[in-house]
Structure formats: structure tokens, C-alpha cells
Amino acid sequence: MFSFLRSRLCFVLLIALAAAALIAIRLGTSWIRDIPPHGEGMVPTLPLIALAAGCALLLTIGLLIARKRGLPCLPNAGILWGITLVSVLCAESCTMLPMHEISALPLLVLLTAGSFCLLWALLRSFSLLFWWIFFSLELAQIAGYTQYGSRINSLVIAETLEASQEEISGYLCKTNLVIALSSLLGGAALCWLLAWVMKHCKSRLSLLNTGLVFMLLAVSVGLAIPPSQRHARHFWPCFETYSLTQACTEAIFHNQATIRQVESLHSPAEQPSSLCSLHGGEGVVLVVHIGESVRADRMSVNGYERDTTPWLRRYPNLINFPHCVSAACDTCQAQIAILTDARRDIYEKNPELQPHTGSVLDLFAAHGFRVFAFFGKRNATHLKYDLVVRLLTRCAEQKLHAPGSPWTSVPQMASVLRSLPKSQNTILFINNEGSHTPFYHYDHDNPPFQPAGTSFETPSSHATEVNNAYDNTVHYTDEFVRRVTSLLHGRPWLYLYISDHGEYLGHDGIWGRAALGESSRSYLSTTGCYVGAFILFSPELEAMNSHFAEALRTLRSHTTMLIAQEHIFHTLLGFFDLRTPWYNPALDLTSPTPQPYTGDHPEEENRRGATP
């Protein structure tokens, strides 16, 4: 009996019985909790049957070869138990599934053990490099989800690839550094255990057979689960490896495709156009300000209880749009949606919603406007973000970068305006950091909301400090707008502000620049997609001609409408009566009957702080 307990056959039977028992528990209980459906999707039965048949065929061949050569078909039971125990430890520590669904453990363990054996048989100790990276990422991912409510996906990777030094510094806090180091050491410890177990198995053939046995058992467990409860997330680590690889591929594709998309756009000025509201020499100043990460519900002008926009709230010539939806949580996609005729982001497959022409600024430049662009300090780098905005502002005579905080660009604007004749029609294009993570740009000498913290160290535990810092940045932007408009005193001017995207502040269970980890949710289902949008104007502009006066009256009548960034391109054309084949009156907020935004957005009850 003792020899049977130590045999390979006993091991296989015990593993199969344990798996069957846990499957029965799974099917007979209703207490299984939902987990974050990272990469969730039902796994069809037919591919599993094909995989089981393939494993069975290869296992049969392997057993026959081992028997013919007089080699052990499988390692001894001690090695098998060692592989299983390491697999249990890895599955328990590197995935969140057992925390929520203990009945998923047998499938995880069997797949992990099978992957260990197959990779070790093929690569030997070189497989440890893969496992070290994989385990470290999984351990870090669990900690990241606990802190920020997000898991690693293509948007997270794309944001990381495009993060500025300033943004990265906000996450390089003591806790995250400890997590990173612990993840690397934890991954190394698991790899050491795996290597210690595997060093006792010298036969590659027996390891291949063992891997195939584990895989065959795993597929059998998967087939025993009803298709309605069989999700891809249960097939860790195989599906997780695929998901991470796919996320990296998508992130790189997303970055490259965005650049190619903008580079391929022809200037709208190549088509015949006419500017009917101006004839040149009027000295009109148009300010187009693409803000950064400002949520509509954090502006007091939209009903927020804190006075984050005191100057805007009192300014008499304000046309505010509290219900404005941004196209994407990606800055580049938002910039494309604002400055071109695009209506959605790059992941939308409908050709009608993609951009067909380049920047609206080109049209104004073609009709005598001199264009100057003012960027933040971090835009001086050569990331995808900077390349896209540079392509969209190619018509700018000068591109100036703020030497410090956004306020330091105001003297640059003053210098440009002084250098121009007052009769020169001018565009000041602004795109600076604003309320971007890590919420650092505010008046640190006189912060209106305290205590304020800009470090993203367990933000849910420091929600007050993080939210105070964010509100301070919105207050800072309010003062920035005041300073810019003060430079325009006595001139006819129009100031259009719209933020690129919102920011995650815990409202939807997500923090910072983390992207959504659940495939069943999207950015446009969160309150972060409602962004600040408003228009300011001078009395001199309203009195300049009847067209401007009527356009402003019409804009005021549409302030309660649900709008989006897709309206900006056509509204600018309509306001200045700039006639071009690219103009769509249905998306012009200065037309009598514009079409409201019809894309995805949160339900009405999820809006926060918007005026009725």
C-alpha cells in the first residue's frame, strides 16, 4: 500500500479526484463571487475537444517512445508532487482568482504545472527568464489592482509608454517601489523553487509526458465546466500570457497607428474655402485651449460644491457646456477629435466616424490668421503625444514651451502679442499640463484646498489629499484662463476651452491614469468622460458684426445639450462663417438645430455636478 501511495499512478488518480471534487463544489454552489473580468470571454467547447485530442495523441506517442527506449514514462512521484505544490503556490499568489473562486484552483494548478513541465522540457533553465517576468508582472498587477482599480491592458501599457518623467515620478513613491522590488524578489523566489524541483528530473521526455498529462487533465476539467460558466480568465497562466502579449501588441499598434493616421491626413486648406465674417485687419484673437484632464463635475461653474472656478463663475461673457463627452481617455485621440472632423477614437471601425481631413487651424492660417502654439514643459519631449500635437499644429509659426509651470507661458503670449500689429488676426493655440497626473500644477504657496498630496501611494487611503490636489489644479487653470484673457483686453477675442479627457479619482473604482481593466466597461461608461468645455468672448467681438452676435446667441441656447469633442471643428467653422466642403452644419453648435452627441456615455444619474 505504501509503495502504491508513492507511485505515479496514485498521484494521477489523486489529482484527478481532487479536481473532480472541486468541480462538483463549483457546480453545486451559488456563492461564487464575481471577479474583475480581465480578458473575460466564454471558451467554446470545440477548441477544447481538439486540444484534448492533440494532447492525448502526443501523450500516447511519448509513452510509446519512452517504453521502447526503456526510459521512465513519468518522473517519480516526489517530483510530481513537488511540481504540483509549486504550481499551487504560484496559482495562489500570482492570480486573484482563488481569492474569489476557490473552485477554479484545480484548473489553474493543472495548467500551471503543465506549462512548467512543457517549457522546462523545451528550454530547460532558460524558461526561468519567462517565468520570472511573468510572476513579477502578476504579483505587481495584484498590488496595482488593489491600489488603482485597474489591471494591465493595452491602454495601461500605452499610457506607460507615453508617460512623461513628471507623471512617472508621481507613481515612484515608497509603496510602489517596495511593491516593484517585492514583485521582482517574489518572482525570483518562485523561480528558485521551480528550479529546485526541476533539477531532479533529468529526462526531457518524461517531462514532456508529464506536461501533456497535466494539460489533458486541465482540458478535461475545463470540459466538465458548463460553457456558461467557462471563462477564459480561468485558463491562467495560458490565457494570461496571451492577454499580456496582446496588450503589448495593441499598445504598440495603437501608438504607431495614431501617428500614421495623423500623418496621412491632408490639410483641409487644400480644398476651396472662404472666410465670410472677416476680411482681414480686424485684429481678432482666437484662443483654442485644449486643457488636460479636467472633469466637468469638478468645476464650480458646473455646480461643484467647492469653488474651483471662481473667476469663470463670475465672468459675464461665459457660455458653458456642462455636458461634454470626450472621445477617449487617450490625449492623442482627443486632440484628433477636437481639431479634425473625427468623431470617435481609432478603435471605432466605422469609417464615417474617423477623420477625413487635417487640422481646422490650417483653414484659419490659409485665411490670414497667424498661428502660435504654446505647450507645457513636458511637451518638449519626442513621444507619440508630442508628435501628434506637432502634426496637428504644423501651421504654427512658433511653438513655445513653458519653462516651468503653465503660468510661465503667459509672458510668452504677451511677448508674441506685443510683436504683432493690433490689426493682425491671430490664433493662440494652448495645450499644457493642467490637471494631468500627478496633480502637481497649482499654487503651492497658496493652495486653496488642503491638505493636498500629489503622490499616488495607495490613493484610496489618501483620497482627501489626492482630491484636494486635483481640485487645486482646476483652481489653477481658472486663474490661468484669467491671466490669458487679461492680455487681450480691448481686443475682439474668442476663447474656446475644452479638456482632452477626464481623470479617475475613485468615483468609478479607478484611480489616476490607470485605464479600465474590465473588458465589460469602457472609458465612456465612467463619469471621467465628462470634461470641462466653455467659450469666453469679449464685448468687442460681439459688437463687431451681426454674424458674431447671432452665433453667440445661438451658442447660449444650446448649453444644456449633450455635446462632444466632435462638435468643435464644425463649431469653429460655423462661428467664423468659414465655408469649406468639410463643414457639417449638424455638428455646428452655432447652427439653429445641431445634432446632439449620440455616442456612448454614462447614464444620466451617473453625472456628477452638472447643471440641469
Three-class SS string for 150-216?
CCCCHHHHHHHHCCCHHHHHHHCCHHHHHHHHHHHHHHHHHHHHHHHHHCCCCCHHHHHHHHHHHHH
pLDDT of residue 449: 93
Lowest pLDDT segment from 197-211, 409-423, 561-575? 197-211
pLDDT of residue 589: 97
- For residue 416, pLDDT over 80 is answered with yes
Mention every residue, 6+ apart, whose C-beta is less than 8 A from residue 598.
none
pLDDT of residue 355: 92
567 neighbors 597 (Cβ within 8 angstroms): yes
pLDDT of residue 597: 94
Using alpha carbons, select from 478, 161, 498 the residue that is nearest to residue 327.
498
Instruction: Report d(CA 38, CA 138) in Å as an integer.
Output: 12
pLDDT band at 28 (very low <50, low <70, confident <90, very high): low
- For residue 245, pLDDT over 60 is answered with yes
In the block, which residue shows the cell 472609458? 523
The arithmetic mean of pLDDT across residues 589-601, rounded, is 93
Cis peptide before 438 (omega within 30 of 0): yes
Q: What is the pLDDT of residues 88-131, one digit of tens each?
A: 899 888 887 665 566 677 888 889 999 999 999 999 889 999 99
Using alpha carbons, select from 248, 178, 238, 249 the residue that is nearest to residue 211.
238
Higher pLDDT, 548 or 11: 548
Instruction: Report d(CA 238, CA 112) in Å as an integer.
Output: 8
The arithmetic mean of pLDDT across residues 269-273, rounded, is 94
> What's the predicted TM-score (pTM) here?
0.74
- For residue 612, pLDDT over 50 is answered with no
pLDDT of residue 328: 85
Residue 93 backbone phi and psi in degrees, to 5 = -95, -25
Q: Measured at the alpha carbon of residue 310, what is the angle toward residues 305 and 314, in degrees to the nearest 5?
A: 115
pLDDT band at 579 (very low <50, low <70, confident <90, very high): very high
How many residues are given for the chain? 612
- For residue 74, pLDDT over 90 is answered with no
| Domain layout of the chain by residue ranges | 7-26+43-225+233-251, 265-269+293-604
pLDDT of residue 517: 47
Residue 35 backbone phi and psi in degrees, to 5 = -125, 165
pLDDT band at 492 (very low <50, low <70, confident <90, very high): very high
Q: DSSP assignment, residue 272?
A: -
Q: In a 10 Å sphere around its CB, with 0-12 CB exposed, 13-18 middle and 19+ buried, how is residue 419 labelled?
A: exposed
Angstrom distances, CA of residue 475 to CA of 218, 470, 511? 56, 9, 20
Q: What is the pLDDT of residues 501-528, one digit of tens each?
A: 988 887 776 776 545 444 446 788 888 8
Instruction: Report d(CA 478, CA 501) in Å as an integer.
Output: 17
Give CATH superfamily name and number for 265-269+293-604: Alkaline Phosphatase, subunit A (3.40.720.10)
